[in-house]
Structure 1
Amino acid sequence: MLAPLSKFKSILSAGLFVPLFLIFLGASPGVSAAPGSEFTARLMNLESEVKNPFRFSATLHNGAATEQVFEFKAELPAGWMAVFRAEGSQLTALKMEAGKSRDVDIEILASPMTRPGKFTIPVTAASGTETLRLTLEAVVKGNYEVQLSTPDGRLSDEVTEGRSRQLVLTVQNSGTLPLNDLEMTAQSPPQWKAAFEPSKIDRLDPGQTRQVNVTLSVPDKTIAGDYLTTFTVRNNYANANTSFRMTVKTSLLSGWIGLLVILLAVGLVYNLIRKYGRR
């Protein structure tokens, strides 16, 4: 009776030893399973102004035993764009050999009208057998920016010397933060005058446009020709300027006076020649 029982215990011990050995072998630091496919990024969160692109550096690894083609997609807010590049070339899909890794650059462009904040960008690299997911974060910083122009974009006009010309300028907040205490100034030729209405804009919200009326006065006896006046709008955070060309023409009265002066001079010379030419 003792011999069969002893033999059964030996068999049981051997049966338990094999699974325990296999578990120990799988957990051993010297033995590891083949790595799977991965899609990772060095930096998951980037911060930038809305006018600058967010550039992420990622790595794609094909851990499958066969070659795969991965297609890239990004879930973006309305008006945003995403561009994928590998080795400097733009692409939408990438063929990967088994066990190989490739660097992938992801460039995300925010909509110009995006307000400051943090945006989550899910990105996928999908093949026929697996989908790799990567979550990126783009933090849009607020920026100050202002533009100065005219309603129709025209930056030239004509004026008669000694008179004034009414102009209209447009001031636009093209940034993402409000602009306060914007002041209007002008750099014009000597003795010219520029009056603004209004001369100061207390507040201009993002995307908002305000018109400013300008009275440009040209002094008397200004020589006919083209003259430049530079208009500027600025505050402590942003500024913009535009050059306006004004063509000055002489008045009709000034022309007749000039012609009369010339005729008088010619007559005077003629009389002098007749009077002293006979001697």
Structure 2
Amino acid sequence: MSVSNNTTKGPRGGQRFLSSLLVLIAFHLFTLEASAQNQPSGSSFTARLVNIEAPVNETFRYQATLRNDADAPQLYELGSEIPEGWRLAFKAMGSQLTSIKLEPGKTESINIELRPAYGAKPSKYNIPIYAVSEKDSLELHLEAVVEGAYELELTTPSGRLSDEIIEGEKREIHLKVKNTGSLPLTELSLSSNTPPKWDVTFSPAEIKQLDPGKSTDVVATLNVPDKTLAGDYVSKFTAKNAASTSTVTYRMTVKTSLLSGGIGVLVILVSIGFVFYLIRKFGRR
């Protein structure tokens, strides 16, 4: 009886084993197929420089490279997570864009321009950049190190930007140079743009360093030549260094001196008297 039972169960056990083996093979093939579908395509999103330092009033510019190594064309949507008030732009082939299509095996250079918010505090900011398609989800991590701002203001202590002067005289114009930024300003120089033959000297003519929030006084001595016609004249004074520039326009009203006016009146009277003399002398004939 025991022999008979073993022979009847043998074929059924083999069938069950074969069925289990087939199910296992099918499950393994399904797992391999799903794994192949979810496997990364090998596409990449990289940048030559990922860390850039610059003042807050400048644009951070990164050069990135996007490559499609998938076996089909991919439409990549470009995006980012930036701090509030910041601005970001993607540019390629001379145009601004928000998405780009790449053929299999193709590479495209993408310029990323990042503009910090006005008044952003000096710090290091992490900026994630995304390129997402149906098959790829690529991420690039950039760093923007905000150093602060170079800002310069040239004005007068009273805010007045006009005056009067007699031709042939000199006038001292008091100016104030202010560092309104968050970074020190070094090697500042003063210059002028005046009407022809006018002359300006500055004291001091150079400022070695001006710390944030500080100001210094400068005296501009303006020399107006003799015989300058009466009227309004404009001069421009400039303070600058390699990082910042500020220009102020100053209007000067030139008046004729009393001596010059007296001489002019005397010449007119003499001319009238001479004409009257000629009329009396030659008029009798």
TM surpasses 0.5: yes
Give the aligned residue type for 1:109.
R
CA contact (8 A) 2:55 2:150 kept: no
Gaps of 5+ in 1: 1-32
Alpha carbons of structure 1 residues 195 and 260: separation in structure 2 relative to 1, 3 Å: farther
Instruction: Classify 1:132/1:179 alpha carbon distance in 2 versus 1 (closer, same or farther; 3 Å).
Output: same
Which residue of the partner structure matches residue 246 of structure 1? 252
Cα deviation code 1:174-198 (max 9, x no counterpart): 54413489787878788989999xx
1:104 aligns with 110
Aligned length: 245
Question: Which of 152, 159, 163 in structure 1 is aligned with 2:164?
Answer: 159
- Tell whether the 8 Å contact from 1:150 to 1:169 is kept in structure 2 after alignment: yes
Give the CA deviation at 1:74. Answer: 1.9
Task: Give structure 2 stretches of 5+ with no counterpart.
Answer: 1-38
Structure 2 length as normaliser, TM-score? 0.58
The partner residue of 1:38 within 41, 44, 66 is 44
For 1:81 and 1:63, the matched residues in 2 are separated by 30
Asked whether the equivalents of residues 45 and 139 of structure 2 are also in contact (C-alpha less than 8 Å), the reply is yes
Give the superposition deviation at 1:107: 1.9
| Deviations, residues 53-95 of structure 1 (Å, cap 9, x unaligned) | 3322222233444443221112223332221122222110112
SS at match of 2:100: strand
Matched position secondary structure for 2:124: strand
Which TM-score applies when normalising by structure 1?
0.59
Pick aligned residue for 1:264 from 267, 270, 278? 270
Q: Which range moves more in the overlay, 167-176 or 51-60?
A: 167-176
- In the alignment, is the contact (CA less than 8 A) between 1:161 and 1:221 conserved in 2? no
- Does the residue aligned with 2:264 lie in a helix, a strand or coil? helix
Q: Which of 121, 125, 134 is 1:119 aligned to?
A: 125
Match of 2:68 among 62, 71, 79: 62
Verify the 8 A CA contact 2:41 2:135 in the aligned structure 1. no
Partner SS, residue 265 of structure 1 = helix
- CA deviation profile, 1:10-67 (whole Å, cap 9, x unmatched): xxxxxxxxxxxxxxxxxxxxxxx98433222222223334444332222223344444
Paired position in structure 2 for 1:131: 137
2:200 and 2:220 in contact (8 A); partners too: no
Q: Secondary structure at the match of 1:231?
A: strand
Q: Cα RMSD between the aligned structures?
A: 4.9
The 5 Å alignment of 1:1-279 reads 35-111=41-117, 113-141=119-147, 144-148=150-154, 157=162, 159=164, 161=166, 171-173=177-179, 175-179=181-185, 206=212, 223-233=229-239, 240-250=246-256, 258-259=264-265, 261-271=267-277, 274=280
Q: Distance in 1 between matches of 2:75 and 2:242?
A: 52
Mean CA deviation greater in 37-46 or 137-146: 137-146
Task: State the AA in 2 paired with 1:132.
Answer: L
**Between the two proteins, what is the percent identity of the paired residues?**
47
